[in-house]
């Protein structure tokens, strides 16, 4: 049985967990390496009181990797509202802290909680150190101590370092060495990604790794940290620690954001859209993958997790050989999502997005056994809600979706000629240019 490709993602809480929320549905093995130097909010209070590593970012990642119903994730993220000292604590933070005191190890605690939450992938803390402290030196020579103060200071920084030398887990180096793709996640550049690569041994491991190195660029700037930054500026900061030309590819969004929403972010949050500065990017050796990746349906600017994940998976498959018809079908689905500019076979585009999502989440096979068509149809409901699609599409399930999936399931058993013909692809041995040309034939 062909093994899944391996992805290592290094980051913090919010940005990384959002990537993983979509990536967990793809046929890959994920190891998420999470920073443990946060000292603010509930996490900071627990660190001081119980002498533990930071657990907040790990909680977010585990919640979003969980395969249990959303209600379980909501419980993990629930923050207590009371007049006691419990006020503001996330329930998941309290659970992890309790497990650490029972097991004596954050890594072991993560394994236990992963079983409870039915997490299928691996989550590692960067270190088990209890008092790991991030330090930042500003361009004016001032040294600021702690992630919370670094964020609040609203300063420009020259460099970052740890107050104490971190003891990075050996499993982190093993995961990086074995990875087919190493992702530096979106999120705070200085307090989510930087805490990993300022560790010289981690930076060396990344440079010596066999896998490609990818950076997912933030959609907006961080006040006081990356004001005025374009995509290339983020890369330049990262390569100060990783070394010149260490990053192979960067993903950036080219979504056109409504002017009124841009203005809202500028005035209320002091955040600007990160521009794709093409002239500067051309000077680098890394590849730029740009796409319409942002959703603003709820009045906020955030990445579409599934769509972003499909871009990541498409790139990963480019650099690795295909071993099964199912792998090919997954790749076709990703490319449909990313590249299709016109309805395929007269299909409505919104409807096709539902088809793609259902196909992806349905996975066609589980442990070698076919899904029943009804199970696949259930996944369509979930995707419809997550993508906020036209409710009228739901009426077409019985008449159109079930037959469509029946053909896909048959194709997954090795009879893929119909699917290949549908995609108008004659050969699966083409170079990377095939991805760009797919569905434009």
For all residues of the chain together, what is the average pLDDT? Answer: 77
CATH code that applies to domain 5-128+169-318: 3.40.50.10680
- Over residues 388-404, mean pLDDT: 40
Tell me: the pLDDT tens digits for 178-202? 999 999 999 999 999 999 999 999 9
Domain ranges of the chain: 5-128+169-318, 325-437
| Structure confidence at residue 318 (pLDDT) | 66
Q: How confident is the model at residue 310 (pLDDT cuts 50, 70, 90)?
A: confident
Which alpha helices (H) appear in 37-167, and where do they start and end? 41-50, 56-65, 70-77, 91-103, 106-116, 147-152
- CB under 8 Å to 329, separation ≥6 — which residues? 359, 364, 408, 411, 412, 416, 419
Closest CA to 176 of 95, 77, 242, 226: 242
Tell me: the pLDDT tens digits for 110-136? 999 999 999 999 999 999 999 899 999
Question: Tokens standing for 390?
Answer: 């036209």
Category of 424 on φ-ψ map: left (φ > 0), alpha (ψ -120 to 50) or beta: left
| Structure confidence at residue 439 (pLDDT) | 28
Q: How confident is the model at residue 2 (pLDDT cuts 50, 70, 90)?
A: low
Q: In the block, which residue shows the tokens 């192979």?
A: 248
pLDDT of 205 > 50? The answer is yes
The rounded distance, in Å, linking the Cα atoms of 205 and 242 is 10
pLDDT of 376 > 50? The answer is no
The rounded distance, in Å, linking the Cα atoms of 17 and 32 is 9
List, as one string, the DSSP characters of 130-187: TT--EEEEETTS-EEESHHHHHHT---EEEEEESS---B-HHHHHHHHH-SEEEE-SS
- CB under 8 Å to 411, separation ≥6 — which residues? 325, 329, 417, 418, 419
- Over residues 358-378, mean pLDDT: 39
Which alpha helices (H) appear in 298-416, and where do they start and end? 305-318, 325-339, 349-362, 373-387, 402-412
């Amino acid at each position: 049985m062909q093994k899944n490709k391996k992805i290592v993602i290094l980051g913090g809480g919010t940005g990384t967990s959002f990537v993983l929320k979509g990536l967990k549905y793809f046929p890959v093995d994920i190891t998420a390496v999470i920073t443990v130097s946060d000292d603010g909010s509930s996490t900071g209070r627990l660190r001081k009181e119980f002498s533990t590593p930071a657990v907040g970012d790990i909680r977010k990642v585990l919640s979003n990797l969980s395969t249990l119903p959303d209600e379980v994730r909501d419980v993990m993220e629930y923050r207590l509202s009371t007049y006691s000292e419990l006020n503001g604590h996330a329930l998941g933070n309290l659970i992890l802290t309790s497990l650490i005191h029972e097991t004596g190890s954050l890594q072991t605690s993560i394994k236990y909680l992963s079983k409870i939450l039915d997490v299928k992938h691996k989550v590692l803390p960067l270190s088990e150190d209890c008092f790991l402290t991030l330090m930042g030196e500003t361009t004016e020579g001032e040294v600021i101590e702690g992630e919370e103060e670094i964020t609040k200071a609203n300063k420009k920084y020259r460099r970052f370092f740890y107050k104490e030398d971190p003891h990075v887990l050996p499993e982190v180096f093993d995961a990086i060495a074995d990875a087919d793709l190493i992702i530096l996640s979106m999120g705070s550049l200085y307090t989510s990604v930087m805490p990993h690569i300022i560790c010289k041994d981690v930076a060396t491991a990344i440079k010596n790794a066999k896998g490609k190195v990818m950076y997912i660029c933030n959609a907006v700037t961080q006040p006081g940290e990356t004001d005025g930054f374009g995509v290339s500026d983020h890369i330049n900061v990262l390569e100060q620690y990783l070394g010149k030309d260490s990053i192979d590819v960067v993903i950036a969004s080219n979504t056109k954001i409504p002017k009124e929403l841009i203005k809202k972010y500028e005035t209320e949050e002091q955040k600007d859209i990160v521009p794709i500065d093409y002239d500067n990017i051309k000077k680098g050796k890394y590849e730029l993958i740009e796409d319409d990746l942002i959703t603003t349906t709820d009045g906020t600017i955030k990445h579409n997790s599934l769509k972003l994940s499909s871009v990541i998976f498409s790139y990963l498959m480019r650099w690795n050989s295909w071993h099964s018809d199912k792998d090919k079908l997954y790749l076709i689905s990703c490319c449909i999502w990313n590249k299709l500019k016109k309805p395929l076979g007269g299909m409505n585009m919104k409807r096709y997005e539902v088809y793609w999502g259902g196909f992806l989440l349905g996975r066609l096979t589980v442990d070698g056994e076919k899904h029943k068509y009804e199970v696949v149809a259930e996944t369509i409901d979930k995707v419809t809600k997550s993508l906020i699609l036209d409710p009228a599409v739901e009426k077409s399930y019985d008449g159109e979706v079930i037959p469509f999936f029946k053909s896909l399931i048959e194709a997954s058993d090795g009879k893929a000629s119909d699917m290949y013909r549908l995609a108008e692809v004659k050969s699966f041995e083409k170079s990377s240019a095939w991805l760009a040309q797919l569905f434009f034939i």
